[in-house]
Amino acid sequence: MSLTISHVNEHGELDKEYIVLSATGTTNLWNYMISDSTYHGDGTTSNKHRHVFDFDELPAITLKSGDLVLLHTKKGKFSITDLLDAKKAYFVYWGLDETVWNKDGDEAVLIKVANKTKKSV
């Protein structure tokens, strides 16, 4: 994968909570989804995903190595900022009213989707 999870900032605080993704090569952001996983009764993580953000809801974005994506949990307006060395930071907003990464031990799961089909129901 040409995109990695760097870290989650201020987990559990809606106004400050965001996850940072770093591009390690050229990649289309539309090919990715991110989610958090739930827990089993014994506290271990499960394979069930609760909150899912599909980046194909954004304009088409081709990331280059060194670019950053900051996915904020709260509501906000998409923006792009130029960084040093022709890199960019993309500020993306999930639009939620409560935190996603609200418990110690939560797991962020980055998924690269090779093919997907959507159908309205």
pLDDT at residue 59, as a whole number = 87
Q: Tell which wins on pLDDT, 1 or 17.
A: 17
**Confidence class of residue 40 from pLDDT cuts 50, 70 and 90?**
low
Mean pLDDT for the chain overall? 89
In a domain, 82, yes or no: yes
In a domain, 120, yes or no: no
CATH number for the domain spanning 99: value is 2.60.40
pLDDT at residue 39, as a whole number = 66
Length of the chain: 121
Query: For the chain, how many structural domains are there in total?
Result: 1
pTM of the model: 0.86
In a domain, 84, yes or no: yes
- Cα separations in angstroms, 5 against 58, 103, 109, 118, 120: 19, 18, 8, 26, 30
pLDDT at residue 47, as a whole number = 64
- The burial of 101, by beta-carbon neighbours within 10 Å (0-12 exposed, 13-18 middle, 19 or more buried), is given as buried
The pLDDT of 76-98, averaged and rounded, is: 95
In a domain, 118, yes or no: no
In a domain, 119, yes or no: no
Q: Which domain holds residue 96?
A: 3-112
**In 3D, which of 39, 64, 59 has the Cα closest to residue 50?**
39
